[in-house]
Structure 1
């Protein structure tokens, strides 16, 4: 959140004088460095407790839970699917939604289905609905249906090369869902929904 806020502040002050811009640039650089350092040095828990969840701020709770879940994976993520599916539904939801958001915000639904995160696509509408993200759930369900129906067209250029993957974005029927995904953020706070869900069901994330 710190990095995002810093970038938004910089954009919002683009009309200042050159001197002010230079000062802002230095301040922004310092804040950015601090945010990166804080991220690198963040605590990663191998075991979550009620106290850890209660004492973690809303801004950091999702990261704490995702880090906790990620460290349960092997270094090469070879058995990622089997590991995730062995968890309860609450843990699955947070992990899968993180994967979806990371991919779609970086390269759209096309990238999500292309990468290993796509192995969870059938479970995501239910996961999103579980945390109360009904609009994201409905959107992802429609994207899934399009992915299955138009799969030959979507994957025809995906030959394992960067060029092939880049070409697969051309006239891709999934592209329309990307803009919808970004717009849903205006009416459905996906991060806060997950944070509230974790706090309400914290026993689901605590190791006994």
Structure 2
């Protein structure tokens, strides 16, 4: 039994997600080094990053931090785990980012955010409310994704 399979045996979803996250973050060598992750592992990381950033500081924080480097990949990851309602909300937030495509360069995004129109921030705030009120169980969808793709988690 590998570490991921062990993590899936935890008594609740939260403990399983935390354990899987810890395993995968160790693989990234404690940085933004995702080259050594499989696509399935990246899917997990991108969804987890999105949730953490939105819950801690909203879309502004998501774009401000390195998580925003992976906007496109995050949207694809939400679709991959079948979080369609969440993907729709996130896509709306991404669409109103002032520069398209959203720059992968953190400094460029930060410069853009420094001059962001208040109207955009207000729209993001409304989308954050939708994100929090969304009835999709991202944790369950993410765990189901891991269970259904165990062979892709090393």
The two structures have a TM-score, normalised by structure 1, of 0.60
1:52-201 map, 5 Å: 52-57=6-11, 58-75=13-30, 77=31, 80=32, 83-149=33-99, 158=114, 170-171=118-119, 172=121, 173-184=123-134, 187-201=135-149
Change in Cα spacing, 1:54 to 1:115, as seen in structure 2 (3 Å) is: closer
1:17-36 equivalences under 5 Å are none
- CA–CA separation in structure 1 for the residues paired with 2:113 and 2:14: 39
2:113 and 2:50 map into 1 onto residues whose CA distance is 22
Who is 2:105 aligned against?
none
Distance 1:132 1:190, change over 3 A: same
The gaps in structure 1 that reach 5 residues or longer are: 1-46, 160-167
SS class of match (2:27): coil
Whether the 8 Å CA contact 2:27–2:37 is kept in 1: the answer is: no
- What whole-Å deviation, never above 9, does each CA across 1:16-59 have from its counterpart, x for those lacking one? xxxxxxxxxxxxxxxxxxxxxxxxxxxxxxx6253x14422333
Whole-Å Cα distance in 2 between the matches of residues 148 and 134 of structure 1?
Answer: 24
Structure 1 position 176, deviation (Å): 2.1
RMSD: 2.6
Q: Between Structure 1 and Structure 2, whose CA radius of gyration is higher? A: 1
| 1:68–1:130 CA distance, 2 compared to 1 (3 A) | same
**Could you say which structure has the greater relative contact order, defined with CA pairs below 8 angstroms and 6 or more residues apart?**
2
Q: Deviations over 1:49-77 (max 9, x none)?
A: 53x144223331111111001112334x2
CA–CA distance in 2 between the matches of 1:176 and 1:54? 34
Contact 1:99 1:117 in 2 (8 A): yes
Q: Is the 8 A contact 2:59 2:128 kept in 1?
A: yes
Distance 1:192 1:169, change over 3 A: farther
